[in-house]
């Protein structure tokens, strides 16, 4: 799967904003990479308070992105190349500009009143102290009726009331509208929140969550060979099995985020940083690889539109950019699960550096900045956190070539292009046989040809240097070994096994035996071994 963030992928008409026609123009590139499906971040009508994750009409296309005819063309053109389009389904909340909410807020008697979560205030404030993910109270007083509505994200993203069966039916109708257009499935935004019971301050994993998903499955995509993936921040392996065990008729797979928090201070926010411990990363991956077993299915990802660029975060985007990006690709793609590549990851795009808050577009970063300024943090420290973790890091325009604005637009890009586009771009990557792109292409090809990668069981090698991440995959009597040096230092790896084949490496080396092997910084390889 390849994630496209449409706003930043390819502009086709010079207005500085990526669009659907731009995506169509780049399908041949994605075909060359070898992907099977595109997860398309939201393209629905939206006032863009949260870049399309605030939807004002689910059955219209965002004006800047094009028309419904363009969307139908994208689905068809992708299908011609055996690529399916996975729509982003944002149904925990809508925009406050959605007609349902406009009606809902108009009076307490309106038939749409119960489409959202309305409560009376308590002692002159909100009903309780629930907080929004984007900071501040999750309850907002609405003057028209003097009641509060719930918004777990921005004030312009009121939460839908899933306890109301009419809400659920309206959502299922909308999903069927898209299924009938020939899409390949849905990525479900913060789906673990829809069973919330706000009065008890339960947000994630509410008691009715899985009932709702089974109902949704039955009334929409069930039995139709569509792919569904739930964004589930609060999943444990047990919970992941509930979502994705085929017997339960819910979703195909989940995104779980346990590894994503490993460089954050426990109990604090994503902005409070600490160094990644490789030992913890190994532990978390090994846990998910083994505990989910054959019952459920997991996604594999380093990146998305909310996360910083992995080569800058856990690789080394200075001295070892190419080597570390390939190591990270190999490590992830040889695991069990469905891999997701975020646009630009396949050419090793990096975080960008900002010097002032005026350069920021992302609502999450902006709200955090305002909040921390008010709490007395220093500007420098706040900007440092944004440079490491801010969501705009992933959202700078795709770097296609070394022409002005990286070939993304002939106009002024909505968000500045990373300055390094003259060196890091698709044209360069395609011209260089040794580029990160070709490692991704090879990995995708391997996955299509070796059932061992899909189905093989996982075994972590415990007795290695801490900074070496090594594991076996076993399948039908065959064993592959994956060895990754997760550091900018040489490491010694030793194993008394015979190598029968070198499958892939990010060095020129061929491996025959592994006793006292010196690994270069960020070296990674995959070999078949005899047992």
Strand partners, 160: 116
Residues 135-164, mask of contacts with ligand TEU (x by CB under 6 A):
------------------x-----------
50 makes contact, choosing from ligand TEU, Ca ion, none, with CB < 5 to 8 Å by partner type, with ligand TEU
Could you tell me the smallest distance in angstroms from the CB atom of residue 9 to Ca ion?
A: 10
CA 173 to chain centre: 26
Residues 424/350, Cβ–Cβ less than 8 Å: yes
Q: Is 139 exposed, middle or buried (0-12, 13-18, 19+ CB in 10 A)?
A: buried
How many CB atoms are located within 10 Å of the residue 155 CB? 16
CA 367/CA 359 separation, integer angstroms? 14
The set of residues, in sequence order, having a beta carbon less than 8 Å from that of 335 and lying 6+ positions away, is 285, 289, 300, 458, 471
Q: Is 28 exposed, middle or buried (0-12, 13-18, 19+ CB in 10 A)?
A: exposed
- Name the token pair of 488: 């900018």
90 makes contact, choosing from Ca ion, ligand TEU, none, with CB < 5 to 8 Å by partner type, with ligand TEU
Could you tell me the smallest distance in angstroms from the CB atom of residue 402 to ligand TEU?
A: 30
* Interface with Ca ion (CB under 5 A), residue from 2, 6, 7, 11: 11
How would DSSP label each residue in 259-273? GGGTTB-TTS-TTSB
15 makes contact, choosing from ligand TEU, Ca ion, none, with CB < 5 to 8 Å by partner type, with Ca ion
159 makes contact, choosing from ligand TEU, Ca ion, none, with CB < 5 to 8 Å by partner type, with none
Which CB, 331 or 415, lies closer to Ca ion? Answer: 415
Residues 230-269, mask of contacts with ligand TEU (x by CB under 6 A):
---x------------------------------------
Residues 208/162, Cβ–Cβ less than 8 Å: yes
First-to-last CA distance in the chain?
33
CA 3 to chain centre: 7
**Site for ligand TEU (CB under 6 A): how many residues?**
13
Residue 164, CA distances (Å) to 172, 206, 222 in order: 13, 15, 22
Which CB, 105 or 305, lies closer to ligand TEU? Answer: 305
Could you tell me the smallest distance in angstroms from the CB atom of residue 353 to ligand TEU?
A: 18
Residues 315/327, Cβ–Cβ less than 8 Å: yes
133 makes contact, choosing from Ca ion, ligand TEU, none, with CB < 5 to 8 Å by partner type, with ligand TEU
45 makes contact, choosing from Ca ion, ligand TEU, none, with CB < 5 to 8 Å by partner type, with none
Q: Is 270 near ligand TEU (CB under 6 A)? A: yes
- Name the token pair of 462: 């415990």
* Interface with Ca ion (CB under 5 A), residue from 7, 8, 19, 298: 19
Could you tell me the smallest distance in angstroms from the CB atom of residue 338 to ligand TEU?
A: 17
Residues 332/302, Cβ–Cβ less than 8 Å: yes
CA 134/CA 298 separation, integer angstroms? 27
Residues 191/152, Cβ–Cβ less than 8 Å: no
Which CB, 282 or 389, lies closer to ligand TEU? Answer: 389
Could you tell me the smallest distance in angstroms from the CB atom of residue 31 to ligand TEU?
A: 26
Which CB, 305 or 336, lies closer to ligand TEU? Answer: 305
- Name the token pair of 117: 């979560």
* Interface with ligand TEU (CB under 6 A), residue from 19, 49, 50, 392: 50
Which CB, 133 or 441, lies closer to ligand TEU? Answer: 133
Instruction: Check if 445 is active-site.
Output: no
Residues 181-210 that bind ligand TEU (CB under 6 A): 189-190
* Interface with ligand TEU (CB under 6 A), residue from 64, 147, 306, 345: 306
147 makes contact, choosing from ligand TEU, Ca ion, none, with CB < 5 to 8 Å by partner type, with none
How many CB atoms are located within 10 Å of the residue 507 CB? 14
List 54, 189, 192, 306, catalytic entry: 189
Instruction: Check if 231 is active-site.
Output: yes
Instruction: Choose the binding region for Ca ion from 19-27, 381-389, 427-435, 511-519 (rule: CB under 5 A).
Output: 19-27
19 makes contact, choosing from ligand TEU, Ca ion, none, with CB < 5 to 8 Å by partner type, with Ca ion
Which 3 state secondary structure label does DSSP give 14?
Answer: coil
Could you tell me the smallest distance in angstroms from the CB atom of residue 92 to ligand TEU?
A: 7
* Interface with ligand TEU (CB under 6 A), residue from 19, 364, 392, 523: 364
CA 152/CA 130 separation, integer angstroms? 8
The set of residues, in sequence order, having a beta carbon less than 8 Å from that of 487 and lying 6+ positions away, is 278, 467, 521, 522
Residues 493/519, Cβ–Cβ less than 8 Å: yes
CA 118/CA 105 separation, integer angstroms? 9
Angle at 305 between CA 92 and CA 469, to 5 degrees: 115
* Interface with Ca ion (CB under 5 A), residue from 1, 4, 17, 332: 17
Which parts of this chain interact with ligand TEU (CB under 6 A)?
A: 50, 53, 90, 133, 153, 189-190, 233, 270, 305-306, 364, 391
Contacting residues toward Ca ion, per CB under 5 A: 11, 13, 15, 17, 19
Residues with catalytic function? 189, 231
């Amino acid at each position: 799967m390849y994630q496209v963030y449409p706003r930043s992928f390819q502009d086709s008409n010079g207005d500085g904003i990526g669009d659907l026609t731009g995506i169509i123009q780049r399908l041949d590139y994605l075909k060359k990479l070898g992907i099977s499906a595109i997860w398309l971040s939201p393209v629905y009508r939206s006032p863009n308070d949260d870049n399309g994750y605030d939807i004002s009409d689910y059955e219209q296309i965002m004006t800047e992105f094009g028309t419904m005819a363009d969307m139908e063309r994208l689905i068809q053109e992708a299908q011609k190349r055996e690529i399916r389009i996975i729509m982003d389904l944002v149904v925990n909340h809508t925009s406050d500009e959605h007609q349902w909410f406009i009606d809902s807020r108009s009076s307490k008697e309106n038939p749409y009143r119960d489409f959202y979560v309305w409560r009376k205030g308590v002692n002159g404030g909100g009903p309780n102290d629930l907080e929004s993910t984007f900071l501040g109270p999750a309850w907002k007083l609405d003057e028209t009726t003097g009641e509060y509505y719930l918004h777990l994200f921005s004030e312009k993203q009121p939460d839908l009331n899933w306890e109301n069966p009419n809400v659920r039916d309206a959502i299922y109708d909308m999903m069927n509208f898209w299924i009938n257009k020939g899409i390949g499935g849905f990525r479900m935004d913060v789906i673990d929140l829809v069973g919330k019971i706000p009065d008890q301050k339960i947000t994630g994993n509410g008691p009715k969550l899985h009932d709702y998903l089974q109902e949704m499955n039955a009334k929409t995509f069930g039995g139709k060979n569509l792919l569904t993936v739930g964004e589930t921040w609060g999943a444990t392996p047990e919970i992941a099995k509930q979502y994705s065990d085929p017997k339960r008729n819910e979703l195909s797979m989940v995104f779980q985020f346990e590894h994503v928090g490993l460089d954050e201070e426990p109990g604090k926010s994503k902005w409070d940083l600490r160094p990644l411990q490789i030992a913890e990363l190994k532990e978390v991956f090994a846990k998910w690889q083994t505990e989910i077993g054959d019952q459920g299915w997991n996604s594999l990802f380093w990146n998305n539109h909310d996360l910083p660029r992995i080569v800058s975060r856990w690789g080394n985007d200075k001295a070892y950019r190419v080597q570390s990006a390939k190591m990270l690709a190999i490590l992830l793609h040889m695991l069990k699960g469905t891999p997701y590549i975020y646009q630009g990851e396949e050419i090793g795009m990096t975080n960008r550096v900002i010097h002032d808050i005026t350069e920021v577009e992302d609502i999450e970063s902006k709200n955090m900045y305002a909040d921390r300024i008010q709490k007395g943090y220093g500007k420098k420290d706040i900007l440092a956190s944004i440079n490491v973790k801010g969501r705009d890091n992933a959202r700078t325009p795709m770097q296609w070539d070394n022409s002005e604005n990286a070939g993304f637009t002939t106009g002024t890009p909505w968000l500045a292009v990373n300055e390094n586009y003259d060196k890091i771009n698709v044209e360069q990557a395609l011209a260089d046989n040794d580029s990160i792109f070709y490692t991704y292409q090879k990995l995708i090809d391997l996955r299509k040809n070796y059932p061992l990668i899909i189905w093989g069981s996982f075994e972590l090698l415990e007795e290695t240097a801490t900074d070496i991440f090594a594991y076996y995959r076993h399948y039908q009597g065959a064993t592959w070994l994956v060895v990754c040096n997760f550091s900018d230092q040489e490491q010694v790896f030793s194993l008394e096994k015979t190598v029968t084949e070198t499958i892939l490496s990010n060095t020129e080396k061929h491996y025959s035996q592994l006793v006292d092997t010196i690994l270069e910084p960020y070296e990674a390889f995959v070999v078949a071994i005899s047992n």
